[in-house]
Each structure stands twice: as C-alpha cells, then as structure tokens.
Amino acid sequence: FYEVNYVGEAGAAHSMYDIVVVATPLHQGMSDINFSGFSPAIPSHFPGRYHQTVATLVHGLLNVSYLGTTEKPENFFVSDVLTLDKASEIHSLGSLNPVKIPKGYSYSPASQPKPLSQKNLQQIFLSWDSISEKRWLAYPSYSPPHRRTPPFILHDRLYYLNAVEWAASAMEMSAISARNLALLAHHRWYEQTGKIDQEDLHTRLKGEL
C-alpha cells in the first residue's frame, strides 16, 4: 500500500492506495510533492525547466496597422496571426467574438513569452476596456544539455504520467501517456507481463488492419 498525506479544505488527511499515478510535473517550482520511505530514494524534482507562456485577453479595438496592413479595420477579416519572429513581442494574435460586444470591438487573445508592457498594448490596440493576463509554465524547455526522460515507473506501483512531456509535449501526448499508464498498471497488477513491451506489437497491429 501507499500512504498519501495531503492537506485539504478540512485540514491534514491521509489515504491508502494500491496504485498511485502522479499527474503533475515533478520539477522545481511546479510541485511540492515529497516522497519519503523509499529505497532507493525518489527525487522530489527532476532536472530541467519549463518554458513560460503568457496569454493576454484584451477586450478592445485592434490597431490593424501594427500587423503591416493598409486595410481599414472594418475590412480586416483575418482571425488568427502567427509569427516565427523571435524578436516579436507576440507569438500569436487571435480574435474571439462573443455574442454581445460593442460594434468594432473584439476579444483578442495574444500569446507571448513575457507580459505585454503598456507600450506594447498601445502599439497593438487603439483602445481597450479590459485586460486579463494569465501566466503559466506551458511546456519543457528543450535545450542542451539533453536530459534523459524521467522514468514512467517511480516505484513498484507508483507511476509518473508527465514523464512523456520530456519526449514531446502536447495534450494529445498526455492523453496517450494516461492510456498507456492505465494499461501498464493493469497488466503489472494482474501479472500479465506478456502484454508489456511487446516488440512485435506494431507489426501485428498493422497486419490486423
């Protein structure tokens, strides 16, 4: 059994589990989970850092000339703008259109590596009524030195879902990792070792199709 100690709304508590799946990044600044009583020891944090992304939702009037167009605002119908220019203040700019908004206004979500300054906002928008900003560590920073992918199995029946992010990071990858971990936990629990790491599985599946 694994004893999980945590602090909830009612205070400190603990529960016992046969199988535990950790589904949060075990990296500095991302979680405060500690593992105690394991031999060999399980690290609380693996090496590596996450890339910060800032999403800014602006209810305002876009300055279309900022995008290098000579179109009038009412004739500008581009809904999404993406850029590969690393020097740009923004990585992407999109348009959302809720039902009830003033004429000529739109909700424009902008994605950028750091918060937009007042100067940036004045360049991108002619005017605005409200601004909402959300910062989060979106995905691993894939830069040298290359690190090994953390293990999917931390202990006998203790699994780590987010290890897949260090191979490739996307919602689809997390979904695949969750499915694979569920199958892995099931097969190991029922000692169906023949269903784990099947080298010819891909070939057999292609044959079945």
Whole-angstrom Cα Rg for the chain: 24
- Residue tagged 């203040």 (tokens): 89
Instruction: Say what the pLDDT of residue 111 is.
Output: 81
- Sites in the chain below the pLDDT cut of 70: 97-109, 145-146, 201-202, 204-209
Instruction: Say what the pLDDT of residue 207 is.
Output: 56
- Residue tagged 């999917």 (tokens): 152
Instruction: Say what the pLDDT of residue 109 is.
Output: 63
**Spatial distance between the Cα atoms of 8 and 191, rounded to a whole number of angstroms:** 35
Using alpha carbons, list the distances in angstroms from residue 26 to 51, 62, 63, 113, 170.
15, 40, 41, 22, 17
Pairing between β-strand 158-160 and β-strand 20-22 as defined by DSSP bridges: parallel
Instruction: Say what the pLDDT of residue 115 is.
Output: 92
Instruction: Say what the pLDDT of residue 112 is.
Output: 84
Instruction: Say what the pLDDT of residue 154 is.
Output: 97
pTM for the predicted model, two decimal places: 0.77
Model confidence pLDDT, tens digit, residues 67-94: 999 988 878 888 889 998 888 889 999 8
Using alpha carbons, list the distances in angstroms from residue 8 to 13, 14, 15, 33, 94.
7, 10, 12, 14, 38
